[in-house]
Chains A and B, each alone.
Chain A
Amino acid sequence: MAEKRTILEIKHLYKIFGDDPRAALERVRDEGLGRAELMEQTNHVLALSDITTDVREGDITVMMGLSGSGKSTLIRHLNRLIEPTAGEILLDGEDVLSLSHEQTRRMRRERMSMVFQNFALLPHRTVLDNAGMAAATRGDKRADYEKDSREWLDRVGLGGNADQYPHELSGGMQQRVGLARALASDAPIMLMDEAFSALDPLIRTDMQDLLLELQEELKKTVVFISHDLDEALKLADHLVILKDGYVVQQGEPQKILLEPEDDYIVDFISDINRARVLRVRSVMNESGDPATANAVEVDHDDTLESVLAKSEGAMEARFVVIRDGAAVGTLDMPEVVKALVPAEASESGMRTHAT
Chain B
Amino acid sequence: MATYDYLFSALGLQEWCESSGGSGPVSLSALRDSARGQDAAEISIWELPFPSMDALNEACQSFPRSRELTIGLERGFLSIKDSLSFVLDPLTQPLSWALEGSLYGVLNTPWWIIIPLLMLITWLVSRSVALLSFVTLGFVGLAFIDHYDYAMQTLAIILVCAFICVLFGVPIGIAMSRSDTMRRMTIPVLDMLQTLPPFVYLIPLIFLFSVTEPKLYGIAIILYAIVPVIRLTDLGIRMVDQSVIEAADAFGMTDRQKLFGVQVPLALPNIMAGVNQTIMMSLAMVVIASLVSAPGLGVLVLRGIRNLELGVGLVAGLGIVLLAVILDRVTKASLARINSTYKS
Q: Which residues of A contact B (CB under 8 A)?
A: 79, 81, 104-110, 112-114, 116, 118, 120-124, 133-134, 137-138, 165-167, 181, 185, 191
Contact = CB atoms under 8 A, between A and B. Distances in A.
Contacts of A191: 250
B26 interface: no
B15 interface: no
24 contacts: A79-B250, A105-B252, A107-B252, A108-B249, A110-B252, A112-B250, A116-B243, A116-B246, A116-B247, A120-B243, A120-B247, A121-B244, A121-B247, A122-B261, A122-B262, A123-B244, A124-B268, A124-B341, A124-B342, A134-B252, A137-B253, A138-B252, A167-B343, A185-B251
A81 B246 contact: yes
Given A166-B344, A167-B343, A124 B266 contact: yes
Contact of B247 (A107, A114, A165): A114
B219 to A, nearest CB: 35
Interface in B297-311: none
Nearest to B268: A124
Contact of A167 (B253, B266, B268, B344): B344
7 closest Cβ pairs, A-B complex: A167-B344, A108-B252, A109-B252, A120-B247, A114-B250, A120-B243, A105-B252
A167 B247 CA distance: 17
Contacts, number: 63
Interface of B: 241, 243-244, 246-247, 249-254, 257, 261-262, 265-266, 268, 341-344
A165 B341 contact: yes
Contacts of B243: 116, 118, 120
A108 B246 contact: no
B251 A122 contact: no
A217 to B, nearest CB: 23
Contacts of A167: 343-344
A165 B341 CA distance: 8
Contacts of A113: 250-251
A134 B251 contact: yes
Contacts of A106: 252
Given A122-B247, A122-B262, 10 more contacts: A107-B252, A109-B251, A114-B247, A118-B243, A120-B243, A120-B246, A124-B265, A134-B252, A137-B251, A167-B344
A112 B254 CA distance: 16
A167 B249 CA distance: 22
B35 to A, nearest CB: 70
